[in-house]
Amino acid sequence: MAALPTEILEDEHRLIIRVVNSLNIFAQTMEDGWEIEEEVFSDLIEFMRIFAEKWHHAKEEEALFPLLIKRGVPATGCPLAQLTLEHKKANNFVSEIVKFMELLRKGDPDARTKVIQGLRDLSSYYVNHIWNEDNMLFPMANRILKDDDQQMLLREFSHIDKKHGKPLHDHLENFAKRIEEETIGS
Ligand SMILES: [Fe+2]
Ligand SMILES: [Fe+2]
């Protein structure tokens, strides 16, 4: 039997967490006076922008959440509006990290602490957000959604996957595994 749509999202969470775990290590590295290599930093931002924001959040905001609303979950308040707002906050954290990293490279001495804080904020944000989805939202979704709904979600997820393509998925997945090995696993 095919995986449940929420199991697909949970697998994606595990991939995101691999990268998120490395954010604290990078923050510590910078606090100790070292720099993040430019290429690693740009891969990190690419992963957060494409895999987390455009790919994973799209499955939630464009497929799962609207279907839950159709099945009677309120569009406002907790959990759906709250989780959608948190996605926007995550995007803002990433934008802030990019902005302050550029300022740091231009020689702004205050930017270093902002980048470090941004990396830590983004990390703790994702850990909490993912915990809430895995433990609260997804069990609720599986109680509410019928088999037909689950099948429809699987089709919509597959459509979103096709839009980005398997080569890009493999590239981002490899990055997540590599970054975890390099920062945590060694
Ligand atoms: Fe989410
Ligand atoms: Fe999620």
| Residue 186 scores a pLDDT above 80 | no
Total-model pTM: 0.94
What DSSP string describes 85-139? HHHHHHHHHHHHHHHHHHHHHTT-TTHHHHHHHHHHHHHHHHHHHHHHIIIIIHH
**pLDDT of 63-116, one tens digit each?**
999 999 999 999 998 999 999 999 999 999 999 999 999 999 999 989 999 999
Instruction: List the domains of the chain with CATH numbers.
Output: 5-185 (1.20.120.520)
pLDDT at 131: 97
Query: 56 alpha carbon to ligand 2 midpoint, in Å?
Result: 6
Q: What is the mean pLDDT of residues 2-30?
A: 94
* pLDDT tens track for 116-152: 999 999 999 999 999 999 999 999 999 999 999 999 9
Distance between Cα 61 and ligand 1 center (Å) = 8
